[in-house]
Amino acid sequence: MAVPTSTPDSPRPARAARAGSGRPRGQGQWALGYREPLNKNEQMKKDADGLTVRERIETIYARGGFDSIDPQDLRGRMRWFGLYTQRAPGIPGGKTAILEPEELDDRYFMLRVRIDGGRLTSEQLRVIAGIATEFGRDVADVTDRQNIQLHWIEIENVPEIWRRLEGVGLSTTEACGDTPRVILGCPLAGELETEILDATEPLRAVVDRYIGDPAFSNLPRKFKSSISGCAEHCTNHEINDVAFVGVVNADGERGYDLWVGGGLSTNPRFAERLGVFIRPDQVEAAWAGVVGIFRDYGYRRSRTHARLKFLLADWGPEKFREVLETEYLKQKLPDGPPPGVPIQDQRDHVGITPMRDGNVALGFAPRAGRLSGTTLSAVAELADRLGDGRIAATAQQKLVLLGVDPADVEAAIDELATHDLQVKPSAFRRGTMACTGIEFCKLAIVETKGRADTLYRELEKRLPEFDEPITININGCPNSCARFQTADVGFKGSIVRDDEGNQVEGFQVHLGGHFGANAAFGRKFRGLKVTADEMPDYVERILRGYLERREPNERFAG
Ligand code: SF4
């Protein structure tokens, strides 16, 4: 299978007519000859590739301090290395649209560390923990895309932070920006009897070959990938731009079903199958082919229509497959089967999971992803003492200790609990996720992490009898970083009016979202908005109503 070779400097206008999309011409598709930047982000990327900022950070900005940073780098290219400015303190939600960018910027950064496949050694975790403690006011968030996000980072410390991370094989390269972001993988890949196949090798091959490669460092927008053979579908392939999902074909061969074009944000769309069977040794080229299509044919005119899902919506899976095969891979792919039904309806690997080698994995729930460097250090120590020195992050803001001797399980559960890390959390704690929110995020309308904490603790007190799986996803704005559309109860941050008519922080409610065979987005009920203070009462009310009317074998989750 050929690896695509075109780069941003080698357009292929000859294919323009053949490749025409359902949209009117002129969406900025490079392959159709539209090379002139159509908005300021495209201009910024044309002026200098995002990857070039690293040298300036190391040689100019880290020495000169925050005020020496070029504004185009500050609000654009620094993302190519996982750096975003934090929200300036004291700016209320809903006011951001009327402010100048510099009024929104704090002098501190969020720094995203990518953990492709989710797996860490205790040494790596200890380094991240040390950075959080020493440079980041002891705050660390496990995200729902297997990153660890640090806060309060000063530009002067960034080269030292990179030195420490890279010393243990970690990176922030392309953790943000219009690039291939962290590649999701099953945190227990290679360890479970139930898995379809172990995707560790192809995932690593893609990361090693393409992350930081200028061939893919100027995409129309962000690009999210998942490569997994997990039978629990724990990487949520349905909402990635490209996903390789483990399957067994009619000949008993193990490989991948290829999905493309998923994504949430303000125009949610589930990915679609191309219907092909990808052998493990073909993953690297097929991944590069899909990213190549996005780079060359993706829409660059409007940022809100620049994700791959819009191209897929216009082309459809048949045309997408044909272009992939004929222009990028130069070969036909065989048809393949769809993935099986997930073996359970919770995808977080929380709890006690038997491993192939006779040990167990212990998955546990922090407080809606929020941790500290101090706690991460304790987890690393526990991993060495009671596990085999490995830890993993899930795509549901949870962590897993690997290789715990069954004889040590109770001791490990008790020790984790002393750090408020629950292996046997309530349904509410387990099922609640929250995005970064107004504490740090410049796009936020409302606060999220603290509210998630209050919500699940209240529900634990009020509904101790509720024991079913449930997902409650709390988001600070419509961008849906914590996936409000795919939760049983999804909250989208918004400014609402309270009983006295005052404008206060609140949420638009979406109900009934879920993944799986009959995946559906939650429905937004007209007018169904709650103030932030009303959240616990609201969720209690709908769950009590459900419990009163529940039929035998009925489940709250879709
Ligand atoms: Fe920020 Fe909005 Fe994403 Fe939350 S959903 S992290 S508020 S952009």
- What's the CA-to-centroid distance between 5 and ligand 1, angstroms? 35
- Does residue 176's CB lie within 6 angstroms of at least one atom of ligand 1? no
H/E stretch holding 3: none
The whole-number average pLDDT for the span 493-497 is 94
Residue 272 is encoded by which pair of tokens?
A: 């679609």
Name which residue sits closest to atom 3 of ligand 1, judged by CA. 481
3-state secondary structure 410-428: HHHHHHHHHCCCECCCCHH
In this predicted structure, the answer to whether residue 21 has a pLDDT above a threshold of 60 is no
User: Which ipTM was obtained for this model?
Assistant: 0.99
Residue 516 is encoded by which pair of tokens?
A: 């799986």
Q: What is the pLDDT of residues 359-372, one digit of tens each?
A: 999 999 999 999 99
pLDDT in the model for residue 95: 66
Quick one: CA torsion of 376, 378, 380, 383, rounded to 10 degrees? Answer: -130
- Does residue 149's CB lie within 6 angstroms of at least one atom of ligand 1? no
- What's the CA-to-centroid distance between 451 and ligand 1, angstroms? 14
Residue to probe by mutation, ligand 1, list 86, 397, 433, 443, most atoms within 8 Å of CB: 443
pLDDT in the model for residue 273: 98
H/E stretch holding 379: helix 373-386
Q: Measured between alpha carbons, how far is residue 338 from residues 30, 95, 152, 331, 427 in Å?
A: 32, 46, 44, 21, 30
pLDDT in the model for residue 555: 85
Rounded CA gap, 118 and 116, in Å? 5
pLDDT in the model for residue 534: 95
pLDDT-above-70 percentage for the chain = 95
DSSP-based three-state secondary structure for 350: coil
- What's the CA-to-centroid distance between 477 and ligand 1, angstroms? 5
- Does residue 289's CB lie within 6 angstroms of at least one atom of ligand 1? no
Least confident span in 92-106, 308-322, 403-417: 92-106
- Does residue 452's CB lie within 6 angstroms of at least one atom of ligand 1? no
- DSSP character at residue 25: S
68 touches 78 (CB < 8 A): no
pLDDT in the model for residue 97: 63
Rounded CA gap, 536 and 542, in Å? 10
In this predicted structure, the answer to whether residue 20 has a pLDDT above a threshold of 50 is no
- Does residue 93's CB lie within 6 angstroms of at least one atom of ligand 1? no
- As beta bridge partners, residue 223 has 180
110 touches 339 (CB < 8 A): no
H/E stretch holding 280: none
H/E stretch holding 320: helix 308-323
In this predicted structure, the answer to whether residue 32 has a pLDDT above a threshold of 80 is yes
- Does residue 494's CB lie within 6 angstroms of at least one atom of ligand 1? no
In this predicted structure, the answer to whether residue 483 has a pLDDT above a threshold of 90 is yes
Per DSSP, the chain holds a count of helices (H) and strands (E) of 15, 20
33 touches 11 (CB < 8 A): yes
- What's the CA-to-centroid distance between 87 and ligand 1, angstroms? 11
What's the pLDDT band for 13 if we cut at 50, 70, 90? very low
Rounded CA gap, 139 and 155, in Å? 17
Residue to probe by mutation, ligand 1, list 222, 440, 441, 510, most atoms within 8 Å of CB: 441
The whole-number average pLDDT for the span 445-459 is 97
- What's the CA-to-centroid distance between 155 and ligand 1, angstroms? 23
pLDDT-above-90 percentage for the chain = 86
443 touches 485 (CB < 8 A): no
pLDDT in the model for residue 12: 38
In this predicted structure, the answer to whether residue 402 has a pLDDT above a threshold of 90 is yes
- Does residue 391's CB lie within 6 angstroms of at least one atom of ligand 1? no
What phi and psi, each to the nearest 5 degrees, are found at residue 395? -90, 20
Q: Return the higher-pLDDT residue of 61 and 341.
A: 61
Nearest-5° angle of CA 41, CA 113, CA 401? 145
Rounded CA gap, 235 and 241, in Å? 12
Q: Please identify which residue in the block is written with the tokens 């040990």.
A: 359
- What's the CA-to-centroid distance between 108 and ligand 1, angstroms? 17
pLDDT in the model for residue 11: 35
- What's the CA-to-centroid distance between 364 and ligand 1, angstroms? 24
Side chain identity at 356, as an amino acid letter? R
Q: Measured between alpha carbons, how far is residue 198 from residues 201, 244, 280, 292 in Å?
A: 8, 12, 9, 25
Short-list 336, 231, 224, CA closest to 273: 336
- Does residue 490's CB lie within 6 angstroms of at least one atom of ligand 1? no
Average model confidence (pLDDT) across the chain: 93
Rounded CA gap, 409 and 402, in Å? 11
442 touches 476 (CB < 8 A): no
Rounded CA gap, 520 and 515, in Å? 7
488 touches 542 (CB < 8 A): no
The whole-number average pLDDT for the span 201-214 is 98
- Does residue 441's CB lie within 6 angstroms of at least one atom of ligand 1? yes
Rounded CA gap, 242 and 228, in Å? 11
Strand-strand pairing, 223-228 and 242-248: parallel
Short-list 156, 216, 232, CA closest to 181: 216
Q: How far apart are the first and last CA of the chain?
A: 40
In this predicted structure, the answer to whether residue 15 has a pLDDT above a threshold of 60 is no
Strand-strand pairing, 351-354 and 360-364: antiparallel
Q: What is the pLDDT of residues 228-274, one digit of tens each?
A: 999 999 999 999 999 999 999 999 999 999 999 999 988 999 999 99
The whole-number average pLDDT for the span 106-125 is 97
- DSSP character at residue 298: S
pLDDT in the model for residue 100: 79
Cβ neighbors of 139 (< 8 A, separation 6 or more) are 132, 150, 151, 152, 370, 372, 373
pLDDT in the model for residue 344: 76
Q: Please identify which residue in the block is written with the tokens 């993935």.
A: 339
- Does residue 53's CB lie within 6 angstroms of at least one atom of ligand 1? no
Q: Which atom of ligand 1 is nearest to the CA of 477?
A: 2
- Does residue 475's CB lie within 6 angstroms of at least one atom of ligand 1? yes
Q: Measured between alpha carbons, how far is residue 489 from residues 186, 229, 554 in Å?
A: 25, 28, 17
pLDDT in the model for residue 93: 81
Rounded CA gap, 83 and 57, in Å? 11
- Does residue 110's CB lie within 6 angstroms of at least one atom of ligand 1? no
- What's the CA-to-centroid distance between 434 and ligand 1, angstroms? 9
Residue 137 is encoded by which pair of tokens?
A: 């006011």
- What's the CA-to-centroid distance between 480 and ligand 1, angstroms? 6
Nearest-5° angle of CA 514, CA 307, CA 34? 165
Q: Please identify which residue in the block is written with the tokens 């010393």.
A: 167
Cα–chain center distance at 445: 20
The whole-number average pLDDT for the span 345-352 is 91
The whole-number average pLDDT for the span 524-541 is 91
What's the pLDDT band for 151 if we cut at 50, 70, 90? very high
pLDDT in the model for residue 1: 46
Rounded CA gap, 515 and 254, in Å? 23
The whole-number average pLDDT for the span 150-176 is 98
